[in-house]
Amino acid sequence: MTELSTGMFNLDGKTALVTGANTGLGQAFAVALANAGARVACLGRSDMEETLELINGGQNDGKRAIAIKADLGSLEPIDRIVAEVMAWSGSIDILVNNAGIIRRADALDFSEADWDAVMDVNLKSLFFLSQAVAKTMVPGGTGKIINIASLLSFQGGIRIPSYTASKSGVAGLTKLLACEWGPKGINVNAIAPGYIETNNTQALREDPDRNKAILDRIPAGHWGNPSDVAGAVVFLASDAANYVHGITLPVDGGWLAR
């Protein structure tokens, strides 16, 4: 029997790729993985200086973290992304598929453009980036892929049809990939953050009625902070989760329990 110890959560010698790492949840994930010992490739569409500063403490020398600029609205940058991380570190041991977008409108009025934009980032690019990274993991027989799902992987929500569809797809795809890639030594799991203070939820927090309705249902009594979710990412990226496959883990302040 393996003795449980804090060493099981140590990520020294590992390289992680985190998408959407410039702000919010992705930034918290990148910093937490670095604090656990991993080298982190931080991917995003915009400036990554703040994330690099938080990881490197002002020493942006490329040893602990690098920034990769790419837009996952298409598949075009995927081969380049993987090549850049492999050239920097020689391996990708952990992939966190965090990048995501949201569009809000009544289902009766929802446009094809908004549907396609959300599905392309949240589901299509997630799959094909996972595929490309998994191809580098298979020869070594080990790897951790962590998808960021949502409470909308379990529920319907309102006015976000493509987001709900994409996050339901993420939960299903996580199970499929776990079934296919588990025998190859790759753990594929997902996390479903609850109501977290990020750019994606700003509209909800600024709506007094929606904000009150949400807070009234959360047993924890408050919105979550990105750092509240980061520990789950470190767990699923670590040896402590070696026998965990295909789950979607809610980190939601108790929302789904009510």
What is the maximal distance between C-alpha atoms in the chain? 57
CA distance 39 to 55: 9
Exposure string over 178-197, b if 16+ CB within 10 A, otherwise e = beebeeeebbbbbbbbbbbb
Would residue 195 show up in a list of annotated catalytic residues for this protein?
A: no
> Which residues are registered as beta bridge partners of 23?
none
Annotated active-site residue in 163, 195, 223, 235: 163
Give the burial string for 28-61 (b: 16+ CB within 10 Å, else e).
bbbbbbbebebbbbbbbbeebeebbebbbeeebe
From first CA to last CA, the distance across the chain in angstroms is 36
Q: Cα–Cα distances in Å, from 195 out to 153, 235, 255?
A: 13, 20, 9
The three-class DSSP label of residue 141 is coil
Q: Which residues are catalytic?
A: 163
